[in-house]
Amino acid sequence: MNLQQIIEQLDLTVLTQPRDFTSVQPDGGYTSDLLSCVMAGAKANHLWITLQSHLNIVAVAALLEVAAVIITESAQPDPATIAKANEQGVVLLSTPKPTYEINGRLWEMGIRI
């Protein structure tokens, strides 16, 4: 399952610059709003699902080289955060759905740990 399909099936909004998401194949995911837990738990090329939307999620996502960050419950990153994400090559996605539902849907779609 590539990121483009995930974006379409979950109806996610792409907040950062569009690019070829079909070539990105996330091979797992990690969910937490605690940045240090993410640092410890998320692996490269994972999806990171969080409620956090402030600037510091970009640094975490960039260091870990996650495939994308899915920001839930319509939490809206400010323009500076989106600009920084573009600069660092981090993909930010947004959804009005709660984290629990997104996790469940991803699991059903075969994106497992």
Partner 1 sequence: MTSRTPTEQEIYGRRGRLITDRDATEISRVEELAYELKVHDVMTADLKTARPDMPLSQVLEILRVNRISGVPVLQDDQLVGILSLEDIVRAMQKNELSAPVSQYMTRKLVTVSNYDSIIKALQAFTDSRLGRLIVVDENGALTGMITKGDITHGILTALQRDYKEEELRRYRASHLFEDIISDRTTLVLRYQIKAHDFMHGGNASSNIKRALLRLGADPQIARRCGIAVYEAEMNLIIHTNNGGILKLEMEPHRITMSTTDDGPGIPDVSQVLQAGYSTASEQVREMGFGAGMGLINIKRCVDKMDIESTVGKGTKLTMRINVPFEKPSVHKDNKI
Q: Which residues sit at the interface with partner 1, rule CB under 8 A?
A: 17, 19, 25, 27-28, 33-40, 43-45, 50, 52, 54-60, 62-65, 80, 86-89, 113
Select 14 or 63, whichever has its Cβ closest to partner 1.
63
Angstrom distance (rounded) from CA 3 to CA 85: 17
Select 65 or 108, whichever has its Cβ closest to partner 1.
65
Residues sharing a CB contact under 8 Å with residue 34, sequence separation 6 or more, in sequence order: none
Least distance from partner 1 to the Cβ atom of residue 80, Å: 8
Select 9 or 44, whichever has its Cβ closest to partner 1.
44
Least distance from partner 1 to the Cβ atom of residue 62, Å: 6
Q: Which residues pair with 70 in a beta bridge?
A: 49, 93
Asked if residue 38 lies in contact with residue 50, where contact means CB atoms within 8 angstroms, the answer is yes
Distances (CA, A) of 113 to 22, 45, 73, 78, 110: 20, 11, 22, 30, 9
Query: Comparing C-alpha atoms, which of 65, 62, 72, 77 is closest to residue 28?
Result: 65
Least distance from partner 1 to the Cβ atom of residue 13, Å: 19
Select 48 or 102, whichever has its Cβ closest to partner 1.
48
